[in-house]
Amino acid sequence: MALAQQTSTSAERVQYLETIRGLAAVQVLLLHCLSAYAPALVFSRLSDGTVAATLGASPLFFLYDGYSAVYIFFILSGYVLTRSFESHPAGPLANVLARLVRLGIPAVAACAVSAALYALFAGANIEAGQLLQSAWFAKLWRPDLTPLYFAKDAVANALLLGYQNAEGLGLFTPLLDPPARSFVAPLWSLSWEFWGSLLTLLMVLIRRGSAEFRLAALLLLTVCFLSSSMLCFIVGHVAALYRIAEKPPVLNRWAGWALLGAGIGCCVVSETWQPDILKAFCGWSGVTVYPGPGPYLFQKVIGSILICAGITQLSSLRRLLSRPRLVGYAQLSFPLYLVHWPILFGPGAALFLATYATFGIAASQVLAIAFCIVASLLAAQAFAPVDRLAVQLSRMIRRWRGSRAEVGATVG
């Protein structure tokens, strides 16, 4: 009974991590909406001397800093997957298969939605991007609407390969497609999610060795991925080993707010400035160890780590983020992340084109942004059963393999 109460309390304390994931998904949605329909807020620089540039360089930018949001996703995944791999009896192969199912089913379904919308609205984003002066909007969402490419993009690109111009060892370079050809370009992060989950599983398996071996292996992995996005998974893993997100804060609230503020500032300042020491570090590590994303994005990695650390040290913020209504809405984070892309580029662009001549560019921009946000939230709710199915099937695989392993150990 005491164990059940402890487990229940632990689950309640970790619920706020789900809300953080939901807020990060909203950041990504807003970044893409503004990149398409209000590009000045995203791509302007202070040297332009415009109001949009000033807002983009202010702390308000963090509200739609989808770049940092992805790294927050990775940190949370490192934490949650560590706890999951630790507590489940399934073997490595079963865990890998479960992850493929968990990520693969939503990826294929999201690409299917995108393919259907592309068949209806192909090219709308190109014309809209030219009118809005958003080169970003005009150059993307140009997939090959063929069964063979669909299979490659929805499975191989999404889960294993990623796309061109992303960090990595370059082993798959000849096979990589440009993001413009993707049905759902945000799937680039899904391949990192998969490989990051394998890294997390490896770190959990390493825990079975001696204390000296565990420490040496973890240090080696940290050095290899020190300037890479994979560092997020390592940080999440280490935090999970010490139950940082579940235990009461060890720092006072002022230290927690300082960490949170420093993290947000680090992410926002990255848009205009990176310290020379960080540039030197990224340049050095890009040659000697696993290459990273460069100083601009790596500064956001550092900021995201500080943000997550700060939230775990703020009891009031943890309680706020643990409210059932927020946690419930946050369950839509992954569906929202997957389905918003074709809505922006398809019906959203078509709506803008149909209204700008009547209402003017500015009014149609606002209308398109509002439509894309509402339509994406509704689509995420409709997509949620697919996400739940993927979760259920992945759990079934792990339970089945885990029960077989237990039976084999008993017989042996």
pLDDT for residue 403 = 55
26 belongs to a structural domain:
yes
pLDDT for residue 8 = 37
CB 153 within 8 A of CB 183: yes
3 belongs to a structural domain:
no
Report how far residue 29's alpha carbon sits from residue 337's, in angstroms, rounded to the nearest whole number.
Answer: 7
Report how far residue 225's alpha carbon sits from residue 163's, in angstroms, rounded to the nearest whole number.
Answer: 19
Write out the residue range of the structural domain in which residue 134 sits.
13-411
Would residue 238 be called left, alpha or beta, if left means φ above 0 and alpha means ψ between -120 and 50 degrees? Answer: alpha
CB 110 within 8 A of CB 339: yes
Report how far residue 185's alpha carbon sits from residue 157's, in angstroms, rounded to the nearest whole number.
Answer: 10
Strand partners, 177: 163
In sign, the C-alpha dihedral spanning 296, 301, 305, 308 is positive
CB 326 within 8 A of CB 105: no
CB 28 within 8 A of CB 70: yes
- Those residues whose C-beta lies under 8 Å from the C-beta of residue 371, and which sit 6 or more positions away, are 347, 348, 351
pLDDT for residue 125 = 98
pLDDT for residue 284 = 82
Report how far residue 139's alpha carbon sits from residue 164's, in angstroms, rounded to the nearest whole number.
Answer: 14
Would residue 334 be called left, alpha or beta, if left means φ above 0 and alpha means ψ between -120 and 50 degrees? Answer: alpha
What number of CA atoms fall less than 13 Å from residue 234's CA on the CB side? 19
Q: In angstroms, what CA-CA distances link 400 with 90, 300, 404?
A: 8, 40, 6
What is the number of other CB atoms lying within 10 angstroms of the CB of residue 331? 18
300 belongs to a structural domain:
yes
1 belongs to a structural domain:
no
268 belongs to a structural domain:
yes
Taking the alpha carbons at both ends of the chain, their separation in whole angstroms is 32
Report how far residue 357's alpha carbon sits from residue 363's, in angstroms, rounded to the nearest whole number.
Answer: 10
4 belongs to a structural domain:
no
In the structure encoding, which two tokens stand for residue 2, read together? 């005491």
Annotate 42-71 with b (16+ C-beta within 10 A) or e (fewer). bbbeeeeeeebbeebbeeebbebbbbbbbb
Q: In angstroms, what CA-CA distances link 112 with 41, 66, 147, 193, 194?
A: 31, 24, 11, 20, 20
Give the pTM.
0.93
Per-residue pLDDT of the chain (412 residues; tens, 9 = 90+): 333 333 334 444 589 999 999 999 999 999 999 999 999 999 998 888 899 999 988 999 999 999 999 999 999 999 999 999 988 767 889 999 999 999 999 999 999 999 999 999 999 999 999 999 999 999 999 999 999 999 999 999 999 998 987 765 556 778 899 999 999 999 999 999 999 999 999 999 999 899 999 999 999 999 989 989 999 999 999 999 999 999 999 999 999 999 999 999 999 999 999 999 999 988 887 666 677 889 999 999 999 999 999 999 999 999 999 999 999 999 999 999 999 999 999 999 999 999 999 999 999 999 999 999 999 999 999 999 999 999 999 999 988 765 554 444 333 4
DSSP reduced 3-state for 177: strand
- Those residues whose C-beta lies under 8 Å from the C-beta of residue 129, and which sit 6 or more positions away, are 36, 135, 136, 137, 138, 139, 349
pLDDT for residue 171 = 62
CB 33 within 8 A of CB 373: yes
pLDDT for residue 89 = 66
pLDDT for residue 400 = 79
CB 200 within 8 A of CB 218: no
pLDDT for residue 364 = 98
284 belongs to a structural domain:
yes
165 belongs to a structural domain:
yes
DSSP reduced 3-state for 163: strand
pLDDT for residue 9 = 40
pLDDT for residue 404 = 52
What's the burial of 171, exposed, middle or buried (CB within 10 Å: 0-12/13-18/19+)?
A: exposed
* Residue 163 main-chain phi, psi, to 5 deg: -135, 170
What is the number of other CB atoms lying within 10 angstroms of the CB of residue 122? 15
* Count of domains for the chain: 1
pLDDT for residue 131 = 97
The one-letter amino acid at 392: Q
Report how far residue 129's alpha carbon sits from residue 36's, in angstroms, rounded to the nearest whole number.
Answer: 7
CB 181 within 8 A of CB 212: no
